[in-house]
């Protein structure tokens, strides 16, 4: 799968390109990757390197996301990619969120295939989880649209560490979201 061209970035006077997806504002020289590892500079632009690739699926109760007032008692297809824009020491999905082997770990998964898998498994919703959908927002949005077209509800599980414009695009595509609080201080 080729890397996907993205729009949330701008060129800097010093020749670097700044990613505008999250407040880390990674400033990349040609060939560099951001802290999330999945957004990279290629040909003077920022691309998403994990569009169409998943690190795994699981059918969970929706209460595990945890959402208690959204389609209660129903199964959700949990799905994630690789990488993360946070680096929490307590991460329970560190093998996914800090993976540096996305090319070998990830399975091909088109948005339509994910929606079809959810329907086939009797899931009413698909959750973007395990790692933060902020970093793969174009893939999450495309998958959310495919899910809605199939009558499946898209759910974001996120830390919400995202800039204003991409935030509005990501959450406009979702039917529900769980925004996790990861720490209690600015220093954290």
- Give the binding site for ligand SF4 (CB under 6 A): 19, 21-22, 24-26, 34-36, 39, 85, 135
Q: What is the CA radius of gyration of the chain?
A: 16
Please state the closest distance from residue 5 (CB atom) to ligand SF4, in A.
14
DSSP state of 58: E
Please state the closest distance from residue 40 (CB atom) to ligand SF4, in A.
8
| Closest-CA residue to 124 (of 79, 74, 68) | 74
In this complex, which beta carbon is closest to ligand SF4, that of residue 135 or of residue 140?
135
Please state the closest distance from residue 90 (CB atom) to ligand SF4, in A.
19
In angstroms, rounded to a whole number, what is the distance separating the alpha carbons of residues 183 and 1? 36
Cis check for the bond before 66: say yes or no (omega within 30 of 0). Answer: yes
Please state the closest distance from residue 87 (CB atom) to ligand SF4, in A.
10
In this complex, which beta carbon is closest to ligand SF4, that of residue 15 or of residue 25?
25
**Locus of tokens 């769980």:** 178
In this complex, which beta carbon is closest to ligand SF4, that of residue 126 or of residue 170?
170
């Amino acid at each position: 799968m080729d890397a996907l061209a993205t729009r949330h970035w701008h060129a800097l006077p010093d020749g670097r390109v700044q990613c505008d997806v999250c407040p880390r504002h990674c400033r990349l020289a040609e060939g560099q990757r951001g802290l999330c590892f999945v957004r990279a500079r290629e040909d003077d632009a920022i691309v998403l390197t994990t569009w169409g690739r998943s690190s795994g699926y699981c059918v969970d109760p929706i209460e595990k996301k945890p959402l208690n007032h959204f389609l209660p008692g129903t199964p959700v297809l949990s799905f994630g990619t690789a990488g993360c824009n946070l680096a929490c020491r307590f991460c329970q999905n560190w093998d996914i969120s800090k993976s540096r082997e996305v090319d070998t770990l990830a399975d091909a998964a088109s948005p339509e295939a994910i929606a079809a898998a959810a329907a086939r498994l009797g899931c009413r919703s698909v959750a973007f989880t395990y790692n933060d959908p902020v970093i793969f927002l174009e893939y999450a949005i495309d998958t959310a649209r495919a899910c809605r077209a199939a009558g499946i509800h898209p759910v974001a599980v996120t830390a919400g560490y995202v800039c204003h414009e991409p935030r509005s695009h990501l959450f406009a595509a979702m039917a529900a979201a769980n925004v996790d609080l990861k720490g209690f201080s600015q220093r954290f």
